[in-house]
Amino acid sequence: MNIVSLFYLAFVVAVALVYFIAPRRIRWGILLGASLVIYLYCGRRMIVWLLLTSLSIYVGGLLIDRRQKRYLGQLEAGGELDKNSKRALKKKNERDKRCYAALVAAVNIAIWVTFKFADVFIETLNRCFSADLSFVHMALPLGISFYTLQAISYVIDLTRGKCEVQTNYFKLLLWLCFFPQILQGPICRYRETAHQLYEPHDFDYRRVKFGMQRMLWGFFKKLVIADRVVSVSDKVFGYSAKYQGVIFIIGALAYTIQIYADFSGGMDIISGTAEILGITMPLNFERPYFSRSIAEYWRRWHITLGTWFRDYVFYPLSISRASQVLSKHCRKLFGPGIGKMIPTYLAMVLVWLLNGIWHGAGAQFVVFGMYQGILIVLGMQLEPVFQWIIDRFRIRTDCFSWRLWQRVRTLALIMGGRIIFKAKGLSEAGRIFRSIFTTHNWWALTDGTIFKLGLDAWELFVLFVAVLVLLTVSILQEKGVHIRETIERQNLLFRWGLVIGAVVAVVLFGVYGINLDLTGFVYAGF
Amino acid sequence: MSIKIKRAAGAIVFFMLLFATLAWVQEVVTPDFDWPEHNRRSLKSIRSAFNEPKGSIDAVFFGTSQTFCSISPMTMYDIAGVRAYNLASTNQRIPVAYHLLSAILHDQSPKLVVVDASGFFYTEKEMQSAAKYEEMVNSLPWSRIREKWTLMTEIAKLQDRENDWKYILSSVISLLRYHTNYRLTQRDNVEMYLKDLYQRKGYVATFDTVPVEKENYKIVKAMLDPNDDYASDDDRKEKLTDSIAANEPYLLNMQQLCREHGAQLVFMKVPVCTTTEHRGYWSFNKHEMTEALAEKMGVKFFDMCYEDIGLDWFRDSSDSGEHVNYRGTKKITARVLKWLQEEFGLSSEHNETWDRQWSYQSQVFAEEMEYLNLELEYDLVKYLERVREGDYVLFTIVSNGLGKYWSDEAQQAFEETTGTKFDLREKKNAAYVSVSSQGRIIEERNGKNACSIKVDLENGLNCKLSSKKTKSRSAGSIVIDGKRYDSPGQGVHFVVYDNKLGCIVDSVCFNTASKAVTAQQNTEYKEDMRLKIIEYVHGQMKGI
């Protein structure tokens, strides 16, 4: 289901009405029912995989909890056990819990890998062994990349004692498949969102209003900006053989705008929907294009994915026994400075490798992940060099121009990543990079070529104004202005005029229509 | 009042405002014309029919573009005080007419429902044109949501999209379909909507004069003649029989609907003069079949193609015989009215409110037509006489030489209109430019090969006129306030500026090199002119 469809809007209204009218104790059941309806609507058979995942974490959770209780019971029953015995019990308990968690994680990763990489695997086999295996062309279950990570986080958090076990299977299922969030995230943690789903929320005028405003903002980003600029990026990268030089910069910029407006717009719609129902979704975007370094960018872009990798991959790797051993060896070999950093960098590179793979099957996505990882590592490693340059040339760093330079530089690096992401294969990405650096066709900016890239002058003007609105709002937010609260403080006529104007802008300038299929969300495909 | 009630009331008012705004936006972006490049038929004029006071209309007309160019309800009101409405639309199919009739009968109780037979011969396949249904969906107001929905479900059926509710919904809510028209919306669309000036009651006036070709005229005469070989040789006869049979059930439905509402269904055929190359042709076979169907249904049929109503196909057509211009309209409307009065006693009851409204609209219409009428004059001498009568500034140039068909009468009329003493036929005047007003020359110049003038007029206009004898594309030009207004072609070019309106009201080239002295219009200024006329006339009429 597309969350920018009229059907979705009608569905949200219906769910909200039923939710607020229903008795408080069954309200979570309404949410579960609505979520399952959506899931069944999107693909009936695929629900099997969702149920399997939910069942695995439910059973896994119960086992982990039972093991923990047994351990606590043993401690109580043991009375005055010596330290070593206690340590042994604890160790065994931890090991058992980890085993359960690992088993659950393995099952879910296996399902995810099967769906996502089956065809890539077959293609590799065919290529390596000249085999003729036919492709399976499996459709991805809705939200599998998101709910798999959520499921794994639940069992790991249980193992770490960071959340309580859920003994009601249906409640756990609701947390896993809550209907706006299952479509494209954010990747929620059990301890942050589950209790909000289970608690009954009463109708709150202000909250509902704010939720609707957030949805409207999401519609604006998606329909007016993302679905408009997609014409340019699709044309430039889809027919890349026709273009060269500066056109690729325009294409990369277009895709950079598109993917942000698309993903963050979707998040706004999802978070707005949840807000109407009284649930606060975790923040997934914090104006990432204002970042002054790639590391900061990834702390602001798809935040829930980044923190997931940090908490469940990077930290465990960094403090693992293997890492400590490697660190010791490296310090001996390369000295204390670099030697200490090598295991951290390796863990980082692995995280980015996985990040790339999460985005898609194929070498292109692996390189995309590695590109980000390498940039971050280089940034950290070259920090002293940059500092030396700053000191040597007495560059002022406490001024706007320096911050602007940092942001433009970061944006350029991000656009580089977008080229790898969007190009038709790695070799094509290479050709695009070569063309950007070797072809100097700046005249293409003024000779009308830009009007032939999928958007005419009118459309470009609308896009320009819309991006300007987005930029203005982002700058205000960056300065700490709470837009919705600020609007709320204004006079009624201004407030209503603004909202009605925004609705008209979305309806009028949105890219949709009878002969246009609604453009799917980029991240819904992951 | 508790805060909850206040908030609920606030939310209701907000959503009402929001929907009202969206409804307005929808009006603006929904296409005003069903065929932008051609007849420019205003769909909103059909919609305006639903704004007429309830029960005020006594006759409604259905048909194709031939009908909406031929029947002028305002003219009927001028002649006999009859209140009629023209609901014809481009290539209107009978099923569409049926649905439209069904919708209009909710508010109106016409005594007569007149259907032009031009639509009886669409084939079954042509009848199922979804586009035609869609136009009608757009033209129906929201108060007729039931008919809108029925029409859309019909369309969905035709396109095998019965279960595609999104398609149906987005067709009924035209904003979803036409929202991208924000970029196409023309100034006049918006302005016309804001002023709600659709008061021609469904009639579309055309002012061009494009005569029928003589050869075609003869063919059409043969097509209408029952004794001519054409009638018996018409290989389309079988197809026509099938078509009219396919339309019959819908016509019967219309008849049934009329009976239920106390109206009488009648058939007519407005005159046309086109050969079978045009889809809207008329022939003896069509006449005979329609007559047979009318007899079978017990409906009266009046075929004006067989009546001498004084139509001159060399003067009264706007496009070589398929449609008539305003001059032709007046003749056809008068004849139809006479027939309806004599046969059915058509008249309108006196109602002070309605009559006051119609009377005002009728005066506005007459004024508009008066201004637009200048375009209709293709006779050079008469044209100059008309220009002489008005408060105009006349810009004249001779381009590519005068040609030999500039007659003595033309020269005399020109002298009287402009006050010039130059005889344009003399060699020294092979190139000529002038600016004149009310029988007085403001500035003029002549030359053997070329000449030009630059004048700043008292009314603030600055103009530049040039004339050349040579046969080149730039043989002459009339530039007023930086904009070029002359028409293409060889001969004498006139551009007429109306001092009252403050705009150009005509631009024409009389080709005095050809024996027929044909008139060719430059239409680029027309949009501006029409808006100015409407504004001016309404300004003048405000006091009434």
pLDDT 10s digits, B215-269: 888 888 888 887 776 665 556 777 888 888 989 999 999 999 999 999 999 999 9
pLDDT score at B35: 38
Chain A residues lying within 8 Å of B175, measured CB to CB: 507
Six-digit token pair at A87?
């340590």
pLDDT in tens, A288-326: 999 998 989 989 998 999 999 999 988 888 888 888 888
Helix A27-42 to helix A169-177 angle, to the nearest 10 degrees?
Answer: 60
Residues forming a β-bridge with B492: B398, B510
A85: Cα separation from own chain's centroid: 44
DSSP category for residue B271? -
- For residue B451, the distance in angstroms to the closest alpha carbon of chain A comes to 39
* CB-closest option in B29, B175, B183 to A458: B183
pLDDT score at A332: 82
Task: Please compute the mean of the pLDDT values over residues A192-209 and round it to a whole number.
Answer: 92
Which residues does chain B have with pLDDT short of 70?
A: 1, 31-45, 129-132, 158-159, 161-162, 165-167, 170-172, 181-199, 229-235, 373, 376, 471-474, 527, 530, 538, 540-544
Contact B18/A at CB under 8 A = yes
Residue A497 has pLDDT above 50, yes or no: yes
Six-digit token pair at B182?
């924000």
pLDDT score at B363: 81
Contact B28/A at CB under 8 A = no
pLDDT score at B192: 46
In this structure, the dihedral spanned by the alpha carbons of residues A84, A87, A92 and A98, taken in order and rounded to 10 degrees, is -160
Task: Please compute the mean of the pLDDT values over residues A79-93 and round it to a whole number.
Answer: 81
pLDDT in tens, A165-174: 999 999 999 9
CB contact under 8 A, B177 and A504: no
Chosen for mutation from B29, B133, B172, B182 (greatest number of chain A CBs closer than 10 Å) is B182
Six-digit token pair at A510?
């949105």
Task: Count how many Cα atoms sit within 13 Å of the Cα of residue A140 in the half-sphere of its side chain.
Answer: 20
Alpha-carbon span A174 to A154, nearest angstrom: 13
Q: What is the ipTM of this complex?
A: 0.78
CA angle B317-B322-B327, nearest 5°? 25
Chain B residues lying within 8 Å of A458, measured CB to CB: 183
Percent of chain A exceeding pLDDT 70 equals 96
Residue A134 has pLDDT above 90, yes or no: no
Residue A12 has pLDDT above 90, yes or no: yes
* CB-closest option in B18, B171, B183 to A503: B18
Chosen for mutation from A507, A509, A517 (greatest number of chain B CBs closer than 10 Å) is A507
Lowest mean pLDDT among A130-139, A243-252, B50-59, B491-500: A130-139
User: Per-residue b/e over A483-504, b at no fewer than 16 CB within 10 Å?
Assistant: eeeeeeeeeeeeebeebbebbb
Alpha-carbon span B140 to B197, nearest angstrom: 18
Six-digit token pair at B128?
């199922």
Nearest residue on chain A to B15, alpha-carbon basis: A500
Alpha carbon distances (Å) from B543 to A134, B532, B540: 84, 18, 7
The residues near B437 (Cβ < 8 Å, ≥ 6 apart) are B392, B393, B394, B499
Alpha-carbon span B509 to B518, nearest angstrom: 8
User: Of B310, B330, B454, whose CA–CA distance to B72 is shortest?
Assistant: B330
Task: Assign A215 a pLDDT band (cuts: 50, 70, 90).
Answer: very high
pLDDT score at B32: 56
The residues near B226 (Cβ < 8 Å, ≥ 6 apart) are B284, B288
Chain A residues lying within 8 Å of B180, measured CB to CB: 513
Alpha-carbon span A79 to A34, nearest angstrom: 50
CB contact under 8 A, A507 and B22: yes
Chain A residues lying within 8 Å of B169, measured CB to CB: 6
Alpha-carbon span A423 to A432, nearest angstrom: 8
Six-digit token pair at B73?
């309800």
Alpha-carbon span B264 to B248, nearest angstrom: 17
* CB-closest option in A508, A510, A514 to B170: A514
| 3-state secondary structure string across B385-426 | HHHHHCCEEEEEEEECCCCCCCCHHHHHHHHHHHCCCCCCCC
Residue A268 has pLDDT above 90, yes or no: yes
CB contact under 8 A, B22 and A503: yes
| 3-state secondary structure string across B232-260 | HHCCCHHHHHHHHHHHHHHHHHHHHHHHH
As separate numbers, helices (DSSP H) first and strands (DSSP E) second, chain B gives 20, 15
Alpha-carbon span A239 to A188, nearest angstrom: 38
Lowest mean pLDDT among A121-130, A170-179, A436-445, B230-239: B230-239
User: Of A109, A111, A101, A286, whose CA–CA distance to A186 is shortest?
Assistant: A286
Residue A339 has pLDDT above 80, yes or no: no
Q: Is the whole model's pTM more than 0.90, yes or no? A: no
Task: Please compute the mean of the pLDDT values over residues A202-209 and round it to a whole number.
Answer: 91
Chosen for mutation from A5, A493, A504 (greatest number of chain B CBs closer than 10 Å) is A504
Alpha carbon distances (Å) from A111 to A175, A183, B238: 19, 18, 67
Strands (E), B36-111: 59-62, 84-86
Alpha-carbon span B249 to A236, nearest angstrom: 55
Task: Please compute the mean of the pLDDT values over residues A197-204 and round it to a whole number.
Answer: 92
Nearest residue on chain B to A459, alpha-carbon basis: B183
Chain B residues lying within 8 Å of A459, measured CB to CB: 183
Q: Structural domain boundaries of chain A?
A: 6-203, 207-281+440-526
